[in-house]
A and B are shown apart, each in its own frame.
Chain A
Amino acid sequence: MSDALDVLDQVGKWKASGKGVAIATVITTWGSSPRPVGSQLGVDDTGAMVGSVSGGCIEGAVVKEALASIADGQPRLLDFGVTDEQAWDVGLACGGKVQVFVEKVG
């Protein structure tokens, strides 16, 4: 099963059980980013994750924004990369840049 579809499956199960859920999607990449455009991370309102939007380097920050999105219903556009001032916190070890769109489901 393709992993993008695994994410949708799990997100659907979370929704069905009454949880608040958000989906984060890689929408653009520059340089050598670990996951291609279209890669998705599903997050529930307890912070549980399914899928990935990087090799693990930015997931923590994305989950935080996903929880905020579940709370206020607003979509978010996040930038990550080595030129980012957060580089030392959540930079991509590979030197790439990614843009991640986060939105609540439902």
Chain B
Amino acid sequence: MKSETLAALQDARTRRQALALATRLSDAAEALIYSDRTEGPLASDPAVVAAARRALGIGRSETVEVGAQRIFLNVYVPPPRLIIVGAVHIAQSLAPMASLLDFDVTVVDPRRAFATDSRFPGVKVMQEWADDAFEKMGLDVSTAVVTLTHDPKLDDPALEAALKSDVFYIGALGSRRTHAKRKERLAEAGITDEQFARIHGPVGLDIGARSPAEIAVSIMGQIVEVRARRLDALAGPKVVAA
């Protein structure tokens, strides 16, 4: 791997940009394939670029035969991201668990007493309203959003903003009754039943969770499950078609 290639991979990570690195196994010749451009000597082979674009599309690294060449396609996608709305007790368990699972974690809460770095060591904390914070971060398809404040004034704008994006997971803490009331409020704000159905509520897998840490496990389990199913669905049909 060339030093410039290493630098390009690190740069793409910083900018949360997906790319594929094609390497010819016989001589380590390389090409970088971005969604909008290509770089490197191997990029002059259209068949290699086409194969790399397909791998990039399904987000899966693989070794392919292109003519007489064996090419390894390494797909680097930005790490999944979890945005936790509400710097509450459950968030203090959920944030480190998500970090352990390779998520980039951000905790958002406009309340000064809650959103402190000392309560969330090693995690990005934004002392802002969720909809403002989302606009700065840019919600994308590899992002999950969980609301934990129990306060409609804080949770509802976050859910509305999340529903307008293509985040892969939205979860909202609260009992069935709380969730039903939430549905009524969001309906008044113009959220349809179909849109509302994207919200996982009551949040998390039903594992009988009681303590904040147990609830965090149930939420994280559900996020992992939803993400894995989505990636499977993405990879399945395209591979068959190819």
Contacts and interface: CB of A to CB of B under 8 A. Distances in A.
B47 to A, nearest CB: 18
B153 interface: no
Given A3-B102, A37-B61, A75 B3 contact: no
Interface string B1-36: 111001101100100000000010101100000000
Contacts of B128: none
Chain A contact residues, majority secondary structure: mixed
Contacts of B79: 1-2, 5
Given A2-B102, A25-B74, A75-B27, A8 B2 contact: no
A106 interface: yes
Given A2-B79, A12-B10, A25-B72, A75 B63 contact: no
B28 to A, nearest CB: 4
Contacts of B6: 8, 11-12, 15, 105-106
Interface string B96-117: 0000001010000000000000
Given A8-B13, A38-B61, A103 B72 contact: no
A36 B61 CA distance: 9
A1 B74 contact: no
Nearest to B27: A75
29 contacts: A1-B104, A2-B79, A3-B102, A4-B76, A5-B13, A5-B76, A8-B6, A8-B9, A8-B10, A9-B10, A11-B6, A15-B3, A27-B25, A27-B63, A27-B72, A28-B63, A36-B61, A37-B61, A37-B63, A38-B74, A75-B25, A75-B28, A101-B23, A101-B25, A103-B1, A105-B3, A105-B6, A106-B1, A106-B2
